[in-house]
Structure 1
Amino acid sequence: MNRWMIALVASFSVATSGALALGLVLFPMQSSAQEAVRSFPERALRGTLVVQTAPEVLLDGAPARLSPGARIHDVNNLLVLPAPLAGRELTVNYLRDPQGLVHEVWILNAAEAAQKRAGASSGRNFLFASEADTAPRDDGNTPYHQLPGFPAR
């Protein structure tokens, strides 16, 4: 090797090590992902996610679907596929797209899960007549004359 090449390689290694040291001083790395608390969108909701066969999921026990471009972030904020998460119950923050499909999911670490956040409300603002009825139900042992009757027309 020529002398100028040796000098160039030596100066490059000194410069890169100096830049690396400066970068570590200016931007120190987090000691672990468990200590980091990410910021989430204001409209993100808290829930419990169980991936079944993608795109089918259970969100707080109710069936839901992942959108075609759904992104799932793990505790290190890396994207993960839904298949390795199948069957696991995960505490998550999530966003839905305009069609109601789950579009963005963040799997929470212990520090993030401890923070309070609103969950999803029920999907409707009405009751069916069968749900609103508070009359006693027949358990099979009620005598006929004590059964509720229909109103006369």
Structure 2
Amino acid sequence: MKSLFICIALVAASSVAARNLPPEGSQADLAALEYPFVKLAGKPVRLAPGALIYDDANRVIPPNTLPAKAKVLYKLDIRGDVQYIWLLTGEEIALLKEQKKTQ
């Protein structure tokens, strides 16, 4: 019975993996402004229609629940509006810094 529990625990632990963040994304500090705008890297930008915002647990959240300030990874659409935002964890920030150093 113990071995079955250990096997289940190992399978469950392996399924919790790091998020797949896009390598072409840009990193910035986010500050929430009045919808549909956010401030990225000190500049106000518009959220694209249908923009997706992912919290640190990779759940899609509505724009009105954005934190006042956060470190994020984002992607712009063809018009320069923000199409995707990923709120970053401390580990993801460190990982992105390491990846940037090796490039």
TM-score range, shorter chain: 0.7 to 0.9
Give yes or no for the alignment of 1:110 onto 2:96. no
Amino acid paired to 1:41: P
Map 1:52-131 onto structure 2 (within 5 A).
52-85=33-66, 88-114=68-94, 115-116=96-97
Report the equivalent of 1:10.
none
Between the aligned partners of 1:71 and 1:106, the Cα distance in structure 2 is 9
Alignment deviations for residues 86-123 of structure 1 (CA, whole Å, 9 cap, x no partner): 5x1110000000110000010000100112266xxxxx
* SS at 2:86 equivalent: strand
Amino acid paired to 1:50: A
Amino acid paired to 2:49: P
TM-score by length of 1: 0.53
Amino acid paired to 2:91: A
Q: Which has the larger radius of gyration?
A: 1
Q: Which has the higher strand share?
A: 2
RMSD (Å) for aligned C-alpha atoms = 2.6
Mean alpha-carbon deviation: is it higher for 109-118 or for 89-98?
109-118
TM-score by length of 2: 0.77
Question: Runs of 5+ in structure 1 lacking a partner?
Answer: 1-20, 119-153
Deviation of 1:76 (Å): 0.4
Deviation of 1:64 (Å): 0.3
Q: Which has the higher contact order (CA 8 A, sep 6+)?
A: 2
% of aligned pairs identical?
33
User: How many residue pairs are counted as aligned between the two chains?
Assistant: 94
Runs of 4+ in 1 over 6 A off after TM superposition: none
